[in-house]
Amino acid sequence: MTVSMTINEAVERFLTTISQARSENTALTYGNAMALFLEVLEKNHLNPSENLTESLTEESVAWMISRLKDHAPSTERLYLTATTRFFEFLASENLAVINLPRIQMLIHQRARRPGQRLPMFPRDNIEIIVEHMLSKSYAQTDDPEEKLRNLRDRAFLVTLADTGLRVHEACGLRRGDIDWNEGKALVIGKGNRQAVVRFSTRSLVTIKDYLAARAILDGSAGKPLASLPLFARHDKGAGKKVKPITTTTGREIVADWVKTILGQDAIGTITPHSFRHYFVTRVLHSSGNLKLAQELARHKSIAVTQRYAHLNDDELDRGYFDIFEDSKNTKIE
């Protein structure tokens, strides 16, 4: 027996369950998708304040697909996933009688299929940034606050390059998360999955240098050291408090050093996620082991890792010229 409820009320109840079970970012995305869905209903003369069981049909998914054609294919798939989950929620909660196979058929027949693009990033430029950050001269300054920020940024960028951490994972690290003897940390990654991340010797050295410079600030925080953020804010807003950097700050750190090291023209070519691409590609090129790269990158599907398993331009050049420029093929009669 279905429960009497308006479409608006059903959406609100659905989003409440999502916010309780999923991450903040996922809940925000689902909220945006549902807002667009309600807009689509209104444009097709279906009032969201009407009774759910008497007005909402699977055809509304087809309306949603049409509305999403002016969005990127990846956004379309994301929003359609949220819409499908909404209808599954209605069915599971007995809020409406839903023909789920018809919804799946509509999406299969009418939705676009986003193409698989190889992750593009300037690998050589990332290596230039890392080498610059590891040099002894980069952080020389008479300003103690500036030096502290430089040491933090150095540790942050080298950590991104050598661990494959996502920016929100790096920003969320606490001092106590790292096992200094093992060179590992336990993190809560994408999809709230717990995983072990390994740290290189050079990343640990840069982190220790930064924390040593931060010792007085941490000691006066009045909190256990293990609970303090690994990467802290050093701005007027934070004052003497030890507050974690946000993902926005993490992106700004990358952008600022890209501009400083590579120049104005390089702005926008490297993001925090570029360092993750660099990490995966480096593992693959060094080991040739796809499964190893998948595990270290913490990809749920090996299909994601396979996108990185392409030959670089140098290898393609060598392969081409070995075939077409050997002594037999270069003779012209």
CATH of the domain at 157: 1.10.443.10
Tokens of 9: 């009320």
Q: Is 308 a member of any domain?
A: no
Q: Is 75 a member of any domain?
A: yes
Tell me: do 191 and 241 sit in the same domain.
yes
Predicted confidence pLDDT, tens digits, the chain (333 residues): 456 789 999 999 999 999 998 888 888 999 999 999 999 999 999 999 988 887 888 899 999 999 998 888 878 888 999 999 999 999 999 898 889 999 989 888 888 876 555 555 688 899 999 999 998 666 677 888 899 999 999 999 999 999 999 999 999 999 999 999 999 998 987 777 888 999 999 999 999 999 999 999 999 989 999 999 999 999 888 888 999 999 999 999 999 999 999 998 898 899 999 999 999 989 988 888 889 989 999 998 888 888 777 655 555 566 666 666 665 544 444
Burial class of residue 229 in the structure, from the number of CB atoms within 10 Å of its CB (0-12 exposed, 13-18 middle, 19+ buried): middle
Tell me: do 178 and 106 sit in the same domain.
no
CA distance 30 to 83: 8
Tell me: do 53 and 145 sit in the same domain.
no
Tell me: do 144 and 98 sit in the same domain.
no
CATH code for the domain of 61: 1.10.150
**Exactly one of 22, 273, 285, 307 is catalytic; which is it?**
273
**Exactly one of 67, 190, 243, 259 is catalytic; which is it?**
190
**Exactly one of 149, 152, 154, 166 is catalytic; which is it?**
166
Tell me: do 86 and 133 sit in the same domain.
no
Residue that terminates a domain, selected from 242, 272, 302: 272
Q: Is 115 a member of any domain?
A: no
Angle at 199 between CA 197 and CA 203, to 5 degrees: 140
Tell me: do 181 and 258 sit in the same domain.
yes
CA distance 186 to 101: 40
**Has 190 been annotated as catalytic?**
yes
**Has 79 been annotated as catalytic?**
no
CA distance 278 to 126: 8
What is the number of domains present in the chain? 2
Put residue 23 in one of left, alpha, beta given phi > 0 → left and psi -120 to 50 → alpha. beta
Tell me: do 130 and 241 sit in the same domain.
yes
**Exactly one of 149, 214, 298, 299 is catalytic; which is it?**
299
Q: Is 315 a member of any domain?
A: no
**Has 278 been annotated as catalytic?**
no
Whether the predicted model's global pTM rises above the 0.75 cut: no
Tell me: do 186 and 256 sit in the same domain.
yes
Tell me: do 14 and 83 sit in the same domain.
yes
CA within 13 Å, CB half, 73: 8
**Has 318 been annotated as catalytic?**
no
**Has 310 been annotated as catalytic?**
no
Structural domain span for residue 197? 123-272
Tell me: do 178 and 74 sit in the same domain.
no
Q: Is 49 a member of any domain?
A: yes
Tell me: do 127 and 102 sit in the same domain.
no
**Exactly one of 152, 233, 276, 298 is catalytic; which is it?**
276
DSSP label at residue 6: B
Q: Is 118 a member of any domain?
A: no
* Closest-CA residue to 129 (of 253, 310, 221): 253
**Has 273 been annotated as catalytic?**
yes
